Chain A
Amino acid sequence: MRQGLLASPQARERLAFWLLRIALAIVLFPVLFILAYMVMRGAPGLTWEFLTAVPRSGMRAGGIFPAIIGTVYLVIGMLLVALPLGVFAAIYLSEYAHPSRWTRVIRLAIVNLAGVPSVVYGLFGLGFFVMFLRLGTSIAAGALTLAIMSLPIIITATEEALRSVPASFRQVAYSLGATRWQMVRTAVLPYALPGILTGAILGVSRAAGETAPILFTVAAFYLPRLPQSIFDPAMTLPYHLYVLATQIPNVPARVTYGTALVLVGLVILLNLAAIIIRAHFRRTRQW
């Protein structure tokens, strides 16, 4: 006969619940700790000047405005390139291509691309965009590199969103005399759009925080003015943070952590946008 602590099913149930709670707490703790630590050390540095001025005194004082602007430009450029490209590729894959061994291989390749380390994308960007296409170290080269990096995520998310549109919508559109493109445009894409946007923003927000891909393609160590065109190099938040943390002695903590806080804030803002779109979609979807 069973004895002791685990004698009854209720006791085992309680034990299981506690194990799950502990697992959650262990996951949650580092995240909250990092956020709290960053806010504690960085919040004193977050002044209006910090957000709007250029760095001074060997980047130990002043602000990080050029880095914020550089990252914003990169995000916009990346979205402009990756969103249409990724969405059209996904539409082709899931709505046009006949399922075959080839489409399976292509899908597998895309999934694997998502797992390629970001420094490899950086190296590719350097070799292809910076040198081969002679874009130089520039916002254009960086945005293209980041776009390539976020493409697998956007394609996968778009395919997922397209698949979630009921097959019956496609049947109805065809039966009413729609061509394939009319079917996609009127009966599938409108209902997949929120999911596509959500996935795209998440992909972009992940890429926005990467250092390695922009290290060789955009990043300027110190550039106390704003970029004038997309062929200019620019400062960016992740690289600036790396520089502050490792290359310059005696940087006040509030500057380093303030920069980190701004970067994380930007990423959270993007994710928030994705969450809001998704929530709105769930509320208004009708099937």
Chain B
Amino acid sequence: MVTPPKLHIEQLSIRFGDLVALHAVSLAIHAREIIGVIGPANSGKTSFLRAINRMNELHPAYQRTGTIALDGEEIHAMRDVAALRRRVGMVFALPVPLPMSIAQNVLYAPQLVRRLARGAAEAIVERSLTAASLWEEVKDRLHDSAMKLSGGQQQRLCIARTLALEPEVILFDEPCSGLDPISTAKVEEAMVQLKQHYTLVLVTNNTKQAARVADRTALFLMGELIECDDTKRLFTAPRDARTEAYISGRFG
């Protein structure tokens, strides 16, 4: 049986004013997979990612053609952007905890929607932090400021904060670019765990990270999707010469 894709991106082109960021990209992303998106700087991978939760629209010069369907529903036809962003969460490159306590950070998104009873709030905090592999490290200081955490812990807190949304898709925008190898390993471990319940799109500068974590990997070059394939196949037997050049580090 063929399941319909979680995200169906068709002929997506993005421009910021005169600058073409993405050119006619079509891609299907399946439920409960990690899709890695690799490519050099300015290849359009972040613009691609931020199109999926319509964050690009905050940019005044943003122009788009093409469609993105989430479970078959065109996201640009949705009138409630906030509701879309609750279904499609995002983790940024640099961890940005809000200057409040660890628990308050996790509860930020749920409390925008409804008032929480104390027990429900505590349950969300524990569940989200556990899923982000942070619970054991912070369970005794949930009411301390989130700013006191280390960089790696902050990033896992940001993942927990996104998980508290109970999204369907999570977008990761180079989530480990500011982290040391041990923190990176922990974040990657969390991502692999999350795959059981969520669809993950992982944009990364680190080609090896995609090789370690992603089920499938897509390579972007200068705004074009060059190749998307099973990760193992993409890294061992790429079909496009440019893919081979990029992953073997012979590029540019």
Residues of chain A whose beta carbon lies under 8 Å from any beta carbon of chain B:
98-99, 166, 168-169, 171-179, 182, 186-187, 191, 285-287
Contact = CB atoms under 8 A, between A and B. Distances in A.
A99 B60 CA distance: 9
A187 B108 CA distance: 10
B89 interface: yes
Nearest to A180: B82
B26 interface: no
A175 B82 contact: no
Contacts of B92: 168, 171-172, 175
Given A177-B82, A191-B99, A286 B147 contact: yes
Contacts of B113: 177
A237 B58 CA distance: 50
Nearest to B90: A175
A169 B112 CA distance: 15
A274 to B, nearest CB: 22
16 contacts: A98-B60, A168-B96, A171-B55, A171-B92, A175-B90, A175-B92, A176-B85, A176-B89, A177-B82, A177-B86, A177-B109, A178-B109, A182-B82, A186-B108, A285-B99, A286-B147
Contacts of B96: 166, 168-169, 171-172
B145 interface: yes
B94 A168 contact: yes
A175 B89 contact: yes
B45 interface: no
Contacts of B83: 177
B217 to A, nearest CB: 24
Contact of B165 (A168, A174, A177, A187): A177
Given A172-B92, A177-B165, 17 more contacts: A98-B60, A168-B94, A168-B96, A172-B96, A175-B53, A175-B162, A176-B85, A176-B108, A176-B109, A177-B82, A177-B85, A177-B113, A178-B82, A178-B112, A179-B82, A191-B99, A286-B147
A175 B147 contact: no
Contacts of B98: 169, 172-173, 187
A17 B47 CA distance: 52
Contacts of B55: 171, 174-175
A173 B90 CA distance: 11
A177 B99 contact: no
A186 B112 contact: yes
A177 B86 CA distance: 5
B161 interface: yes
A139 B86 CA distance: 50
Interface in B143-169: 145, 147, 158, 161-162, 165
Contacts of B89: 175-176
Interface string B87-115: 00110101010110000000011001100
B75 to A, nearest CB: 14
Contacts of B60: 98-99
A286 B145 contact: yes
Given A176-B162, A182-B112, A287 B58 contact: no
A177 B112 contact: yes
Contacts of B86: 176-177
Contacts of A173: 98, 108
B99 A176 contact: no
A285 B53 CA distance: 31
Contacts of A285: 99
Contacts of A286: 99, 145, 147
Contacts of B161: 176
A211 to B, nearest CB: 43
Nearest to A172: B96
A61 to B, nearest CB: 56
Contacts of A98: 60
Contacts of B162: 175-176
A96 B92 CA distance: 24
B68 to A, nearest CB: 16
A164 to B, nearest CB: 13
Contacts of A178: 82, 109, 112
Contacts of A187: 98
B104 to A, nearest CB: 10
